[in-house]
Each structure stands twice: as structure tokens, then as C-alpha cells.
A and B are shown apart, each in its own frame.
Chain A
């Protein structure tokens, strides 16, 4: 294969990448959401909070994508 020359200065490194850890770790902390109360529109906390984590995930990956483009 070609010897490395062009593109060598490119990298995926960025401090923004640390933000990706938030949606990776948050949904695995069961003590945060393993409860029935408070309910939201009839949903126990266990269910609505985990659905809300999707929004956190989308927000974090979108920010990282925008800031490192």
C-alpha cells in the first residue's frame, strides 16, 4: 500500500468527544431511575426517564458532530 503522507495531520481527537461518555454512562446507572414515582402522564419514572435519555443521547452526539465537523 502507499506510504503514509497525505492526511497524516488529520485526526479525530477533540475535547468535545468526552461529551459522548454522558449518554454511554447515564442509561447504565440504574439507581437513577429504578423507581415508580414520580409518574409522568401515567408513566413510572423508570420508563419516562429512560425515554428522556434518548434526547440526551441525540443532543450529545449532535453537539460533538457539529463541533468537530
Chain B
């Protein structure tokens, strides 16, 4: 630890401790009668209004990793990395009506997870189990990535070794255990306020020091013109436009399939809160667009990413922390680092709660203890949330962080395979449960196969080097690529439809639908919504 970062470190640690204190106090926030149930611990009492939901869902979707990785991508590839902006513009109108339906049916039946819904809708514990496992598998590396975000700022402060990460996560684990979803909901206020301050300062102060936005873009264009890579530049080219479109659209489709995004939605108190948030959440997208441009500022400022002592390669994730260090006075750099560090805690807490709820509801309750009481469910979820966080820390300690990033890439393709049963299931009961299972399996296999075939020449990897699948592999005479997740989802849908027709023709028994049409439009004040039946209708 070098002495030159003392001020930064003091500010960082102080803010971190304040937030941790809030995490513990959160258990008493909004006075729960009894926190020993999943409605209270896992969904914060299911009573959050517009503002809390805005901070909670925003704090959940725009993670520390986003703040570190998106600018790193723009730093390395240019325009293609900016896909994160259209992705978060497209997503809200896309799910505007879908999430309202999900809220209604979940509140009528007391669903806590997307797999709960699938269980009731298609009458299939097996399909629900597959959806639950898919969710857990896709979420785990996502949590590990939050640690990568914290590690990036620690590295920039000259701190090496894993002990600080372990301490930070132990504190996080303790207050999530105690306060459940209330902890990230309360901390999200601080996290987002800090991030807004830091980013607004960054986009005014840094360009002024670098000679204005025009010269920042010109510097970036100049750098990309000199590199041999054909896909970079401050504009898209003929070969990566389709990739840009499908990556933005595919990522938008995947976002609310992640169990943790749904957790924030189900915690809101009525349909209007969700709809209002779908028009207010893009405020974060504006922020994300500006954050992405920090990648170009780093180019203009001549930032050199910190070399990872373990691999001897430059770590792209450090460009934003290094940029802040070069540009800001020490105390403000400390605030900026704290914003990123705390930015990792909110989503990590929500993700571990969501993964724990999936285990409790769709594995423990379904297969291990059918008569579980509310208190037992809460207990199991609390313990599993600890296990999940220990698992994430082990991922970072035992694996190359690059491996977590690859897993996250795979996670996006994996979670998309639940779209037919979860998202389409909200609209149609046409698919046969067997068809959905067949579609899920083939979509997953196709996705893995495609990712396996994609190399990354930049770091010499032969497999799992990215998500851009060259159409030339299908025999097309083109250099254009498509997002592998979108192709895998197409395979999934086609197989699910064909298999449904086959199962129907063969008269294979289908599951029973426990939901009724009116359940999808129920709202707060409806007698069925008020009376939450946690034992479930299934």
C-alpha cells in the first residue's frame, strides 16, 4: 500500500463504513412486524413506492461492474461498446406491460421467484426446477463480477491481495442476513446519489481539462485508426452493425429474466409504481451513456491500464479508476472510488437474495420440505444467501477474474433460454410443458456450442472469447456477426413450438394451469391481492 493514496483511502473507508452501518439499521426501516418470512426478508414487505423502487431497481441493474466494464469496452473497441445505451433505452418500453402482468399474477398467488410462476402456469415442477437452476447459474458469476468492480478501485489505490475483498463481503453478508432486501433498498439512496455527483462532475470537469468533447472524440478516432483491429472506431462499420443491434436487443430481452431484476419489481406495492418506473428509470440510461464515454476520455488523457501482477497483462477494468486518479483531487477520487465500491454492494445483495429465494422456493420447498413454514423459508433463504456470497468470493480467489467475465457472458445466453416459459408464459399457455423443456435444452446446447466456437485473438483465447458469432459459420459469405444469445433463443423457440405440436399430436398429458385470466390484471386494493397466500396456490 503506497502512501500517495492515503486521502483516497480514508474517504473510501469512511463512506464504506457509513453505508455498512445503514445496512444493519435497515432491518428496522419501515417497521416490519416480523421479518421472519420471505415477503419481509426477501421482498421488503412487498410495499415499496415509486421512489424506493426507482433507487432499488436502478441500483440493481446499473452495477459497479457496468461502471467499470462498459467504459473499458469503449476504451478498447469504441462504438461497439456503446451498445449498452440502446440496450437500456429499448428495455423499458419492452417490459412496460410485461412486468405489470408479472406483478399482478405474482401478488395474487404469492410468487416470490420467476420459477414459482412457471410452476403454477405450466403445472410442472421439473420446468420450474430448470428455470430456478438456470437463474442461479446465471446469477452467480454476476455477483462475482461485482467483486471485480471493487477490486478495480482497490488496485487503483495500490491495494493488492484479497483480504480487503473478503472483509467487504463479510460485512455485506452480515447485514444482508439481518435486514434482507431492506438493506440494499436503503443503501441504494447513498450509492446512487454518490454516483450521480461523481459522473456529473466527471463529464463537466474532465472534458474541460482535456480541451472539450470534440478533441476527446478526435483523440479516440486517431487511436483506433492506428490499431490493426478491424472492428474498432468511433463509428460502427459494415461488419459489426448487426452485432450492435442484436447485442442491444438480446441484452434487453435478458435483463428482466434475471431473478434479481424481478425481485425489485415484485417488492413494489402496485402496478402504477412499476409503470411509472419504466418511464423514470431511463434517467440511469443517460448516466450510463455518459459513463461509457469515460472510455474515450481515458484515451484522450493517455491512461495506461494497470498491469495485473498475476498475469502480466494490462487490466482494462482499471481505466476508469486510473482516469479518476489522474484527473480529480485526491479527496474526490476517494468519493468516486467509494461510489463504485458501494455500487457493487447493492446489486450483490439483491442478487444473492434472489438466488437464495430460488433455492428456497423451488428446490427446498418443492423437493426437501413440502410443509415448510414462513419462518423456515426465511431461515433457509438467509443461510443460502450466505453460501452464495461465499461462493462468489471463492470464484474470485480461486479463478482467474477473466474466467468470471467469461461466465457472465455465458450467463446472458443462459438466462435468455427461460424467455419462452417466463415471459411468453405471461401471455400464452399455448406451449406444452414438454415443448418448453425441449426448447430450453436445445437452446442452451446451441448457445454453449456457439460460444465455444468464438475465439478472441486479442488475448489469444481459442474458446469463449466473446458473444459475436460469425455468420460465416453458417456458410454465409460475410464478415458480419450476430449475438449468440439471439440465435440460441431462436433455436429454443423453434424447437419449443415443433415439440409442442408433436406432444399434442401424441396426446402426451400437459400440466394444469393454476392461474386465471383475471389474475394478470389484479391490482392493489383487489381483495385477492391484499390476502397474500404464501403457501401458494400450486
* A interface residues (Cβ-Cβ under 8 A, vs B): 1-8, 10-12, 17, 20-24, 27-28, 30, 34-36, 39, 41-44, 46-47, 50-51, 53-54, 57-58, 60-62, 64-65, 69
Partner of A42, one of B96, B97, B215, B282: B215
Chain B residues whose CB sits within 8 angstroms of the CB of A2 once the complex forms = 516, 528
Bound-complex Cα distance A46 to B80 (A):
11
B528 A57 Cβ-Cβ under 8 A: no
Q: What 1/0 flags go to B209-231 for Cβ under 8 Å of A?
A: 00011111100000000000000
List, sorted by A's number, 5 A–B pairs whose CB atoms are closer than 8 Å. A12-B97, A12-B101, A20-B93, A34-B236, A61-B92
Residues in chain A near residue B101, CB distance under 8 A: 12
Residue from the list A7, A22, A54, A65 in contact with B522, Cβ < 8 A: A7
How far is it, in angstroms, between the C-alpha of A40 and the C-alpha of B50 when the chains are bound? Answer: 34
Known: A35-B235, A61-B93. A28 touches B516 (CB 8 A): no
Given that A28-B249, A42-B216 are known contacts, is A1 also in contact with B516, CB under 8 Å in the complex? yes
Please judge, given known A-B contacts A11-B521, A43-B217, whether A30 and B244 are in contact too, CB under 8 Å: yes
Mostly, the B contact residues are helix
Residue B514 at the A interface, CB < 8 A?
Answer: yes
> B186-194, B272-280, B369-377: which lies at the A interface?
B272-280
Instruction: Pick from B65-73, B142-150, B285-293 the stretch touching chain A.
Output: B285-293
- Nearest CB of B to A60, in Å: 6
B386 at the A/B interface (Cβ < 8 Å)?
A: no
Distance in Å from the Cβ of A40 to the closest Cβ of chain B? 9
A27 to B248, Cβ gap below 8 A?
yes
Total A-B pairs in contact (CB under 8 Å)? Answer: 133
Question: Cβ of B515 < 8 Å from any Cβ of A?
Answer: yes
Q: Is the CB of B82 within 8 A of A50?
A: yes
A61 contacts B96, CB within 8 Å? yes
Least CB distance from A1 to B in Å reads: 4
Q: A61 near B241 (CB under 8 angstroms)?
A: no
Tally chain B residues at the interface, Cβ within 8 Å.
53
Q: Is the CB of A28 within 8 A of B217?
A: no
Task: Note all chain A residues with C-beta closer than 8 A to B282.
Answer: 54, 57-58
For B93, B108, B212, B289, the residue with the greatest tally of chain A CB atoms inside 10 Å of its CB is B93
Q: Nearest chain-A residue to B516 (Cβ)?
A: A4
Identify which of B83-91, B132-140, B341-349, B408-416 touches chain A. Answer: B83-91
B173 to chain A, nearest CB (A): 36
Minimum C-beta distance from B297 to chain A (A): 12
Residues of B within 8 A of A (CB): 79, 82, 85-86, 89-90, 92-94, 96-97, 100-101, 108-109, 207, 212-217, 234-236, 241, 244-245, 248-249, 272, 275-276, 278-280, 282, 285-286, 289, 293, 514-519, 521-522, 526-528, 537
Report the bound CA distance from A38 to B289 in whole Å: 19
Residue of B nearest to A28 (CB): B245
Instruction: Check A28 against B275 for contact (C-beta < 8 Å).
Output: no
- Determine if A12 and B526 form an interchain contact, defined as CB atoms under 8 angstroms apart: no
Q: Which of B96, B100, B213 contacts A41, CB < 8 Å?
A: B213
Residues of A within 8 A of B245 (CB): 28, 30
Complex contacts, A4 vs chain B, CB 8 Å: 516-519
| Contact for A57 among B92, B234, B248, CB less than 8 A | B92
The CB with the most chain A CB atoms within 10 A, among B86, B248, B537, is that of: B86
A27 & B86 in contact (Cβ 8 Å cutoff): yes
Q: Which residues of A contact B278 (CB under 8 A)?
A: 61, 65
Q: How far is the CA of A43 from the CA of B515 in the complex (A)?
A: 51
Alpha-carbon separation in the docked complex, A44 to B217 (Å): 8
Give Cα A64 to B275, complex, Å.
9
* B99, chain A: closest CB distance, angstroms: 11
Give chain B nearest CB distance to A53 CB in angstroms: 5
B515 pairs with A1, CB closer than 8 A = yes
Contacts of A23 in B (CB 8 A): 89-90, 92-93
In the complex, how many angstroms separate the beta carbon of B244 from the nearest chain A beta carbon? 6
Supposing A23-B90, A57-B89 touch, asked if A64 and B289 sit within 8 A by C-beta, the answer is: no
Sample of 7 more A-B contacts, CB < 8 Å, known A54-B85, A65-B275: A1-B516, A12-B97, A21-B93, A22-B93, A39-B214, A50-B82, A58-B282
B93 and A51 within 8 A (CB) = no
Say how far B62's CB is from chain A's closest CB, in angstroms: 14
Instruction: Indicate which residue in B82, B100, B285, B515 contacts A54 across the interface (CB closer than 8 Å).
Output: B285
Q: CA–CA, A8 to B93, complex, Å?
A: 25
Asked if residues B528 and A44 are in contact (CB atoms below 8 Å), the reply is no
Bound state CA distance, A2 and B234, in angstroms? 57
Find chain A residues with CB under 8 A from B86 CB: 27-28, 50, 53
Contact A50 B289 (CB under 8 A): yes
